[in-house]
Chains A and B, each alone.
Chain A
């Protein structure tokens, strides 16, 4: 049976510095992203997601030489994103050795770009990142593009936006819980479980994970396709001190997988 993917997320800024955000405003400097990618590749992560978080505001896309280096010095499945706006950019990125590209900001200006990309390159290569505000009352509101509140418009109902993306050929949707970024209080489990029931394409959760307990909570509630995290994999457990790691989480998942899969068959 297909296993849920455990996906470390690397954020790079405009100077190609590896950073971790809290609330998408505070940035904590983590070091060299190329070395981090090499380390996670050596840890044999299920997939690695690398996002240039300044690209779209700076009117450019994630730099090709940087992605070329990522592809050259890693051997794990790679998804990259940040400011992608054209089919040529997608072509060039895939040609470098990347499995998937992640689209977000461009879709708030031109939603039809999603269908064009999926038609040209196949849905398996197109990942869509949707930001959502999940805490507080009222329906969850979602938007493409910058996850910080300042950039967000009124937003659309989550399910509507995600189903439209599915319809347009997205290969997977990454739900980024914008208000849980760096908090390490857990995923928005109920919201994700409900969404996962409605979708026929893979769903990946990102934002809020601080422990295996949070992963367990989510995986027990729903057979989600992917569990992505930043803080969990870059900080020493329970601290704000940089220490890249992955194997303990991988072993944890492998141990719990049989029970989870049993659980899902009944879901």
Chain B
């Protein structure tokens, strides 16, 4: 019976936001407020437009100063944007296009696309000034990697996709000689996210040890890999940088949904990140069942800090199970079949003791130091989790 090295905690929930001991490393102050909302309010928001009371451009215009800082390329495209069909990436692509930038929209096909997401990508791909490219992962190999992560028992079963996206975007940037990647990532929605819920995708040692435990060779990870060394090479040799335009406006997902719908016929699908069947499975079924993690806590806590929702309203939302509107049996059957599990095998895996990133070899302290040094040297502030 596998025992994780994660700390065993008595249940406690933050008195200010709704993060709780489903992050086993959560720290509470004497007033019961957690490190997540404290860090969010005191440090994370400082890189966003929420930190100032200056006039902020509206959702639909985007940050002028940001666009003017992006070099126009001699090649065919000025920026690379990773597009999933979701509201964040679609917003970024559209803002860039509207600002007159020539956009290379790259979609990572990891075998889990949903029809609505694909329709949204098609709408985007049809716009002038946007060129579409697809990077299709080798499914037979990728599913082996996903199986390995489920077998490992860790919550970050989405890590292979997340890192594959980074690898694909940087490859596209290098291939086309583009120096700017625009990310739909934004602190307002993702600024509260425990490291243990989604460990650093850049830590190749972690991912490779999980694959090694499952008996997979490193070659299975190679096409997905984007580690610190690769990132350094992209930044220093190819001078590629990633910008986060949505941090420069007071990005509201609800407003964005409405705007995208009327501008390009964008369609919503309900639920966060459900442009991918696997993401839906991960956040609404797998993580709750195996680790007691309710992913909604993270963005609800950010919403509380930004006064977009009250703590009481957030608790009401959390009172309804994340999987309430799903046909759980169908989703589990589909995911199982895709990953070559029987439904029973997948259920058994989900009922097995949870593990966390610390149960596997990783370079957390080394990478933390490396990234901190990098920030000190370049004067950048920490804009993401790593």
Are A and B direct contacts in the complex by CB distance below 8 Å? Answer: yes
Interface residues of A (CB under 8 A from B): 15-17, 29-32, 34-35, 38-39, 42-43, 69, 72-73, 236-237, 239, 241-245, 247-248
Interface size on B, residues (CB 8 A): 27
Q: What are 20 of the A-B contact pairs (CB < 8 Å)?
A: A17-B140, A29-B136, A31-B136, A31-B139, A34-B338, A35-B111, A35-B112, A35-B139, A35-B277, A39-B115, A236-B134, A237-B126, A239-B132, A242-B109, A242-B136, A243-B107, A243-B125, A244-B115, A247-B119, A248-B122
Most chain B C-beta atoms within 10 Å of own C-beta, residue among A32, A38, A42, A245: A32
- Complex contact B132–A241 (CB within 8 A): yes
Asked whether B113 lies within 8 Å of A72 as measured between CB atoms, the reply is: no
Residue in contact with B338 in the complex, picked from A15, A35, A39, A241, CB distance below 8 Å: A35
B139 CB contact (under 8 Å) in A17, A38, A72, A244: A17
Nearest chain B CB to A64 CB, angstrom units: 14
Given A35-B112, A244-B115, 6 more A-B residue pairs with CB atoms under 8 Å apart are A29-B136, A29-B138, A30-B136, A31-B137, A32-B338, A243-B118
Let me know if A15 and B140 touch, CB within 8 A.
yes
Expressed in whole angstroms, the minimum distance between the Cβ of A21 and any Cβ of chain B is: 16
Number of A-B contacts (CB under 8 A): 64
Known contacts A38-B334, A73-B337, A236-B122; is-contact A43 B115 (Cβ 8 Å): yes
Whether, in the assembled complex, B133 has its beta carbon less than 8 Å from a beta carbon of chain A, the answer is yes
Whether, in the assembled complex, B279 has its beta carbon less than 8 Å from a beta carbon of chain A, the answer is no
Q: Mark B90-110, 1 if CB is under 8 A from A, else 0.
A: 000000000000000001010
Once bound together, how far apart are the Cα atoms of A38 and B337, in whole Å?
12
Q: How far is the CA of A16 from the CA of B143 in the complex (A)?
A: 13
| Max chain B Cβ within 10 angstroms of own Cβ: one of A29, A241, A245, A247 | A241
**Does residue B193 face the partner (Cβ distance < 8 Å to A)?**
no
- Alpha-carbon distance A151/B11, docked complex (angstroms): 69
| Contact indicator A243/B134 (Cβ below 8 Å) | yes
Q: Tell me the bound Cα distance from A69 to B143 in angstroms.
A: 16
Q: Given A239-B132, A243-B132, A31 and B118 touching (CB < 8 A)? A: no
Q: Which residues of A contact B107 (CB under 8 A)?
A: 243
A32 touches B114 (CB 8 A): no
Q: Which residues of B contact A248 (CB under 8 A)?
A: 122
Return chain A residues, CB-CB under 8 Å to B349. none
- Min Cβ gap B70→A in Å is 24
- Indicate if B333 sits at the interface (CB-CB under 8 A): yes
Establish whether residues B111 and A42, one from each chain, have CB atoms under 8 Å apart when the complex forms: no
Q: Does B121 contact A (CB under 8 A)?
A: yes
Distance between B344 CB and nearest chain A CB, rounded to angstroms: 16
Q: In the complex, what residues of B have CB within 8 A of residue A236's CB?
A: 122, 125, 132, 134
The 3 closest A-B pairs by CB, nearest first: A32-B139, A32-B111, A42-B115
The distance in angstroms between the C-alpha atoms of A31 and B137, with both chains bound, is: 7
The complex places the Cα of A243 from the Cα of B143 at a distance, in Å, of 20
- Tell me, in angstroms, the Cα distance from A43 to B137 when the chains sit together: 23
CA distance A38 to B111 in the complex (A): 11
Interface set, chain B 182-227, CB cutoff 8 A to A? none
In contact, A243 and B114 (Cβ under 8 angstroms): no
Interface mask (B325-347 → A, CB under 8 Å = 1, otherwise 0): 00000000110011000000000
Docked-complex contact A34 and B337, CB < 8 angstroms: yes
Report the Cα distance A243→B107, complex, angstroms: 9
| Closest chain B CB from A13 CB (angstroms) | 11
* Contact of B122 with A245 in the complex, beta carbons under 8 Å: yes
Q: Which of A69, A72, A244 counts the most chain B CB atoms within 10 A?
A: A244
Known pairs A32-B111, A39-B115, A244-B113; A72 contacts B337 (CB<8 A) = yes
Q: Which residue of A lies closest to B122 (CB)?
A: A245
Residues of B within 8 A of A16 (CB): 140
Contacting residues, chain B, for A32 (C-beta < 8 A): 111, 139, 143, 338
